[in-house]
Amino acid sequence: MRRRHVLTLAAAGAVTAGCSTRRRTPSTDASAPSASAAPAGLAFPKGFAWGASTSAYQVEGGATADGRGPSVWDVFSHEAGRTRDGGTGDVAADHYHRSYEDLDLMRDLGLKSYRFSISWPRVLPTGRGTVNAKGLDFYHRLVDGLLARGITPLVTLFHWDTPQALQEAGGWTNRDCASWFADYASMVCYSLGDKVQTWLTLNEPKTVTEVGYTAGVHAPGVRDRRVANVAAHHLLLGHGLAVQAFRATGRKGRIGAALNLSPVYPADDSDAARKQAVIGDAEENRRWLDPVLLGRYPDDWLATQPADAPVRAAIHAGDLAVIGTKSDILGVQYYNPAYVTATGARVQKHPTSQASWQQLYPQGLYDLLTRIRRDYGDIPLTITENGIPSVHPTDDEDRITFLRDHLTAAHRAIREGVRLEGYHVWSLLDNFEWAEGYTQRWGLIHVDYSTQQRHRKASADWYQQVIARNGI
Ligand code: IFM
């Protein structure tokens, strides 16, 4: 299987050599520049899922439309001082009312895959109980619209918008939240399951844990590392229960988690820095990958939890078997590496994007993908997020450079046998960037928030050509 993958790549590579970013159609005629006159192109495997991502709260708006209930983000973003510009997701990119326009934009880009999330409180306004049929219909129409345009839906079940009613019952610190999530997953997967082939359970549980429950900078604004680790365990338990609930629906398809992962490097050559990098790796990567893919927490991560840490009591017998229920796919989100000093401090080694946390290091994507295969086996992977914010409204050459460099790294990993089946740019549209409000623009498509007009950026034109050529 892997061999065939590599052979396809080699064959495809021969016909796309010599493409440049500004040409509109692949050059296959005899007068096309030869490989010696232009850098060789990199062709991706046949059927590669070129995509783009969004999430419900960041683009939909329609916060109270058609019976949607509030989420933790509705409450949090309305509190003074929580977002940089006072922004909320009330309107965002108004995708709830403009999905047909956005579907046409996706079709024009040539997208093969669209990764979006379901708003839990739109379909279950209080998180459980009665289904809001109008909310669920929106996703049926969206999926139908995608399929009609030849775009495959890739659906995330949880992208941070916990229903506020469940937060009032403890949210993810309440073990029951894992079961509420599985019930919701079961309902959605059954309802849309004749049209959707691939599901993602949780988006970035690490960010929820670290930014939502430890730093308190995201909803629900909790600042307690011990509580955060309990919430993290319940999120993972929710993932495992949702995988089981999906299988119990009898619907065909695949399911897995979408994890943000960062290769962790020692900041210098000292043994102490190397040791600290291993500890950092446990926190950044293995405490998420090991439970989901191996059904256990890493010993060295568990050893960092004191005997009286609440997470120890939160882990019940049998939980890890549930969490480790076989996944069919892993969503990989890569934005940045981490560098750790001999004292365990994090340092910056590369320039950042406008997002100060995002060191730019494309090689990290190659390191990450090949490491997952080496340590966790041959599970199919899809990149569910990768991108940068750009300060240039539409002439975003910096984004083109970023995408090209990361795709080159991904291609190298594929050549070496990694089963990478897709790539989703974060993001399709400019959108609500959580605590940063509307101060960062991550989209391929510019959104004028005063008129809701959409304009393609240079990166969208470039990506369209990449998709058309199936390569860079
Ligand atoms: O906008 C976020 C997204 O919701 C989750 N991953 C990172 C993106 C950029 O910060």
Q: List, for residues 175-198, the tens digit of each pLDDT value.
A: 999 999 999 999 999 999 999 999
Q: What's the 204 CA to ligand 1 centre distance in angstroms?
A: 9
What average pLDDT does the segment 439-455 reach?
A: 98
For residue 72, what pLDDT is reported?
99
pLDDT at residue 450 tops 50 = yes
- For the CA atoms of 421, 434, 174, 184, what is the dihedral angle to 10 degrees? -50
Mean pLDDT (whole number) for 12-27: 27
Distance 323 CA to ligand 1 centre (A): 24
What residues contact 390, with CB distance under 8 A and at least 6 apart? 353, 354, 396, 398, 399, 441, 457, 459
Which pLDDT tens digit goes with each residue over 259-305?
Answer: 999 999 999 999 999 999 999 999 999 999 999 999 999 999 999 99
Tell me what the pLDDT averaged over the chain comes to: 92
Pairing of strands 338-340, 346-347: antiparallel
| Residue to probe by mutation, ligand 1, list 208, 210, 427, most atoms within 8 Å of CB | 427
Q: What is the CATH number of the domain that holds 371?
A: 3.20.20.80
The whole-number pLDDT of residue 12 equals: 28
Could you tell me the CA-to-CA distances from 245 to 37, 201, 259 in Å, in that order? Answer: 55, 11, 20
For residue 198, which phi and psi values (nearest 5 degrees)? -135, 130
**Whole-number percent of the chain with pLDDT over 70:** 92
Catalytic residue list contains 204: yes
Can you give the residue range of the structural domain that contains 12? 5-469
Name the residue type at position 8. T
Q: How far apart are CA 103 and CA 109, in angstroms?
A: 10
Q: What is the pLDDT of residue 220?
A: 98
**Which of 353, 434, 444 has most ligand 1 atoms within 8 Å of its beta carbon, as the pocket-test mutant?**
434
Tell me: pLDDT of 449 over 60: yes
Query: What is the structure's pLDDT at 269?
Result: 98
Ligand 1: which residue has its CA nearest to atom 4?
55
How far does residue 370's CA lie from ligand 1's centre (Å)? 23
pLDDT for the residue numbered 181: 99
Compute the distance from residue 433 Cα to the ligand 1 centre, in Å.
Answer: 7
CA of 25 to the centre of ligand 1 (A): 32
In this structure, are residues 99 and 56 in contact, taking their beta carbons and an 8 Å threshold?
Answer: no
Total count of domains within the chain: 1
Q: Which amino acid is at 287?
A: R
Which ligand 1 atom lies nearest to the CA of residue 442?
9
Is residue 135 pLDDT above 80, yes or no? yes
**Residue 56, pLDDT above cutoff 90:** yes
What is the sign, positive or negative, of the torsion defined by CA atoms of 8, 12, 17, 22?
negative
| Segment 86-131, tens digit of pLDDT | 999 999 999 999 999 999 999 999 999 999 999 999 999 999 999 9
Mutate to test the pocket of ligand 1, among 207, 336, 430, 440 (most ligand atoms within 8 A of CB): 207
How much is the average pLDDT of 320-329?
A: 99
Q: Name the residue of 54, 117, 425, 442 whose CB sits within 8 Å of the most ligand 1 atoms, as the mutation to test its pocket.
A: 442
pLDDT of res. 424: 99
Beta bridge partners of 470: none
- Tell me which residue has its CA closest to atom 5 in ligand 1: 204
Tell me: cis bond preceding 220? Omega within 30 of 0 counts: yes
Q: Which of the following is catalytic: 204, 210, 284, 433?
A: 204
| Cα radius of gyration rounded to whole Å, the chain | 22
Closest C-alpha residue for ligand 1 atom 2: 433
Ligand 1 midpoint to CA 116 (Å): 12
Distances (CA, A) of 205 to 3, 149, 234, 371, 410: 34, 32, 10, 20, 23
Quickly state the pLDDT bin for 164 (edges 50, 70, 90).
Answer: very high
Atom of ligand 1 nearest to the CA of 389: 9
Ligand 1 pocket, CB under 6 A: 55, 58, 204, 333, 385, 426, 433, 442
Catalytic position from the list 210, 283, 284, 385: 385
Nearest CA to ligand 1 atom 8: 426
Q: 209 alpha carbon to ligand 1 midpoint, in Å?
A: 14
C-alpha count within 13 angstroms, C-beta hemisphere, residue 95: 30
Beta strands in 112-210 (DSSP E): 113-117, 152-158, 198-203
pLDDT band at 40 (very low <50, low <70, confident <90, very high): low
